[in-house]
Amino acid sequence: MTESYRKTAFRNGYEFAQGSAYALPEYPFVEPSEITRGEVSHHPIVIVGGGLTGLTMACSLARYGVPAVLLDEDNTVGVKGASSRGICYTQKSLEIFQRLGIYDRIAAKGVEWSVGRTFAGTDEVCSFDLRKQSAYNLSSQPPFINIQQFYVEGFLVERIQELGHIDLRWCSQVTGFEQNNECATLTVQTPAGEYRMRADHVIDATGGHSPFRKWVGACVTSRRGDDRWCIADVRFGSQRPNAAERHTWIEAPFNENRAVWQHPMGDDVWRIDYQMTPDSDPEHVSREDVVRERLARHFGERAELHMVWVGPYAYRSECIDQMRHGRVFFMGDAAKVVSPFGARGGNTGVSDADNLAWKLAAVMKGRAAMALLDSYHEERHDAAQQNVKVANRTARFLRPASPMEKTFRDAAIGLARQYVFARQLINTGRMAIANPYPRSSACEATGGQSVQNVSFLWADRSRGTVNDLLQWAGGRLLLLLFGDASPQCLERLRALGETAPVRSVHVLGAEDVADAIEHVRDPEGHLQGACHVFGHAWALVRPDSYVAATGESVDTTLVHAIAKAIGAQGESA
């Protein structure tokens, strides 16, 4: 290994290292006041777990100005000695990160991509360009950015420290838990000793081996297959792959006709996933000499390769029965574990946090009823089940579970080589999109759809985005009125803003005459299209950029929709 490849310092204060692992930051342990003062403290919100999901939750609450305590059992981001872990971040996650104030850091470090190519043998059997698809093409964020997960976590820590409101407690492991009608009580073990703390709400973001599942008696549906993989994080010399694309092989000739994934990441590192035989020995397949031989077959004997990390991996899927048990909210891998096909792992945890954070903030600030918190399970559990189902279908396509499934796959590959219509049958991972909420008690039947972060023009003709509008709304509901509006209608909106947690905006065309209330211009109709409405209509948008309801008249229908969106159905908005 040449010295020039050994390590490089980056802007966030910690280093990427070539060698047996990544060099991760270490955060100081500070003895908590509960130990120094011998007290049992009480907090409105305690987050357990400082991974991607827990940190996103903490950063989201900090952005709303809601205090919380975050407990993490170690003193770093990522996992010591582990790989890049989650690397593909969807457009929805990137839009969330933009609201949180870390998107620019991610974009500077990561690799944007939108093109995916799938091969069988040496033949390219299908491809896609997400930038050309309506689900992706209008957002201010790209379809995907690839970046090592620990970087995103590090950026979240930095942003939390900038925002304040969050007490980050490192080297703090929760070893006991109980709850009752008054509060939840946690026992925490630290290097300075043990203490207890109370909380109104507990967020479990501890991952797939969550102890809270047992403590609350949760049921988990689990499926563990025999699919085995070896993951290699590799940095190339002069002969690196030059395409910022996702390449997959269903049957790779250089991997004994088993599947292979190839992704670019930050720091000119490439993530290569090799499917192994079900009976493979994890220790053997991840040996450096064995991995180098596999890489040489893939990239050629003369390729200059520097292995950053290598290790075996086995996929499984799990889904908890209820994402809320009393005072405990499960999110991320603590709630469900999915195979990584289509980037449905960490991204779903980010959306879990985004969904719950605004609801807790609204309740804490007196803008919503406590019943609103019940919609977290309704919305995100349905999303979890859908993501597990879609990912499992991909796993079965890549490793058929029966001769019939193998016959179907062979037929699909054969047809896809010749006919365009058959390419949709190739399943190497249906790329994740923002899950809709069709059965939410907090959304009308006309709502439940995500709103892309499209652009518009402010009243002074400067450019803004949906995220800017949500920031302007300040955690309240955002009411967008499209098309002509009578003076009576505008007066109703002004009155509504005085009594309900909602801020209203009149959306005008390019040349429409401005009215007296706040207004923006949507000359290309992107904002209206993103809200899934047409003509003279209104859209009620939540702080997580989901449509709560749409309608045509500013009347009791709107009042009812607002009440429903804040968990106060049946009450006056």
CATH class, range 455-565: alpha beta
The number of beta carbons lying within 10 Å of the beta carbon of residue 291 is 21
Residue 8 has pLDDT above 70, yes or no: no
Query: How confident is the model over 9-19, as pLDDT tens digits?
Result: 333 333 444 44
Mention every residue, 6+ apart, whose C-beta is less than 8 A from residue 132. none
The number of beta carbons lying within 10 Å of the beta carbon of residue 421 is 8
Instruction: State both tokens at 6.
Output: 């050994």
Greater pLDDT, 497 or 508: 508
> Average pLDDT of the chain?
88
Q: Where do the structural domains in the chain lie, given as residue ranges?
A: 26-107+145-219+319-385, 455-565
**In the β-sheet with 269-276, what is the strand arrangement from edge to edge?**
123-129, 115-120, 246-252, 258-264, 269-276, 220-236, 305-320, 336-337
- In one-letter notation, the amino acid at residue 56 is T
This prediction has a pTM of 0.92
To the nearest 10°, the Cα dihedral for 360, 363, 365, 368?
130
The number of beta carbons lying within 10 Å of the beta carbon of residue 180 is 9
- CA dist 329 and 524 (Å) reads 41
Domain 26-107+145-219+319-385 classified CATH 3.10.129.10? Answer: no
> What confidence score (pLDDT) does residue 512 get?
62
Query: In what helix (H) or strand (E) does residue 149 lie, and over which residues does it extend?
Result: helix 149-163
Q: Could you tell me which of 474, 201, 502, 477 has the C-alpha nearest to residue 364? A: 201
> What confidence score (pLDDT) does residue 513 get?
59
Q: Using pLDDT thresholds of 50, 70 and 90, give the confidence band for residue 342.
A: confident
Which SS3 state, helix, strand or coil, does residue 129 take?
strand
Mention every residue, 6+ apart, whose C-beta is less than 8 A from residue 272. 231, 232, 233, 234, 260, 261, 262, 263, 295, 298
- CA dist 8 and 269 (Å) reads 12
The residue-averaged pLDDT of 26-41 equals 93
**Residue 360 phi, psi dihedral angles, 5° rounding:** -65, -40
The residue-averaged pLDDT of 70-77 equals 94
Query: How confident is the model over 449-469, as pLDDT tens digits?
Result: 999 999 999 988 899 999 999
The residue-averaged pLDDT of 403-423 equals 91
Residue 283 has pLDDT above 70, yes or no: yes
